[in-house]
Amino acid sequence: MTEMRYVDGLKRAIELEMERDARVIVLGEDVGVGGPFGITAGLLERFGDRRIINTPISEDSIMGLATGAALAGKRPIIEIMFVDFVTLAMSQLVNHTAKLRFMSGGQLSVPLVIRVQQGAGGGWGAHHSQSLEAWFHHVPGLKVVAPSNAADALGLLRAAIRDEDPVLFIEHRGLHFRRDEVADPDNIPTLGTAKIVRPGKDLTIISYSKAVWDALAAAGELAARDISAEVIDLRSLSPLDMATVLRSVERTSRALVVHEAVLQGNIVAARKSCSLVMYNYDGQPVARYHLEHAWPSKLEVSALKAGASEVLMETVTIVCEHIQRVSG
């Protein structure tokens, strides 16, 4: 068992896969000097400038270059510093990278990983702090992964690099320097598998990325009120492991979804079948906790520390009252 930071898990995954497969290359702005968060530091010296490739400041060009390299037999990992900047490469990503397998009748594959950072925290401003995962959840042919801990950052990134389809790999900046136990660096989860990180019987809390830790904290609050909450870390958003979610909700009859994205058009809203099935188990709709605004950087810290936790606990209180009313 090794303790590892989230960023170190990401770096180790890239190192291991570059050692294993000479087709793996890394492209992006300043990746040769580590990128904005130091994750690729030292890789240029180790693997050379034909595999660690600094690019111009042009996200559209990076996406197009990487897509072409993948079609030609490479397995590129690209770093788009912030998920917000993927907007500059949307046509390449959505209309080409994600579609070429379908448009070629399965003759072509695009084994490409797009690493992005997202989420509130750190005072980066509203145009660097969005949670845009639902946009990409709507794109056929694109897989979306959002790990919550160092072990999954390492294992899921290795799985994404080995996958034959493009994978958007979402890293929350608020997790980068978090330390977690990593039991086995060679444990490579299957994409599209959720994980029950806390078992329970009265309520299912469904989450992903950094919000998993908020969900676990809420489950602790519930335990103090004699309510047993099960917490599911989705890990992958597309494909989404609905089987694990529905089995849990069928057992607990209640669901609370915790995420950092805005309410309208979020992952839950995109999965109407999920909401309808959960609604029918107990006659109650799925409860959701979310952030509603693109925070100005000066207000962000106080909003996240106070407002966000207060709203989450208000939601938990409502769920508690419902459980107690039904069981009483």
Query: Tokens 């309410």 sit at which residue?
Result: 263
Burial class, 102, CB count within 10 angstroms (exposed 0-12 / middle 13-18 / buried 19+): exposed
Three-class secondary structure of residue 264 per DSSP: coil
* CA distance linking residue 328 with residue 287, whole number of Å: 21
Tokens at 119, concatenated: 């989420």
* CA distance linking residue 203 with residue 304, whole number of Å: 24
> Is residue 94 within 8 Å of 140, Cβ to Cβ?
no
Q: Is residue 138 annotated as part of the catalytic site, yes or no? A: no
* CA distance linking residue 109 with residue 23, whole number of Å: 14
- Please name the residue ranges forming H helices in the chain: 6-20, 43-47, 59-71, 90, 100-103, 133-137, 150-162, 211-223, 242-252, 267-270, 272-282, 297-302, 309-327
Query: Which of 96, 127, 128, 322 is the catalytic position?
Result: 128
C-alpha to C-alpha distances, 35 to 38, 116, 319, nearest whole angstrom: 5, 12, 43
Query: Tokens 């030292």 sit at which residue?
Result: 42
Q: Which candidate, 315, 294, 318, 314, places its Cα nearest to that of 304?
A: 294
Task: Kindly list the catalytic residues.
Answer: 128
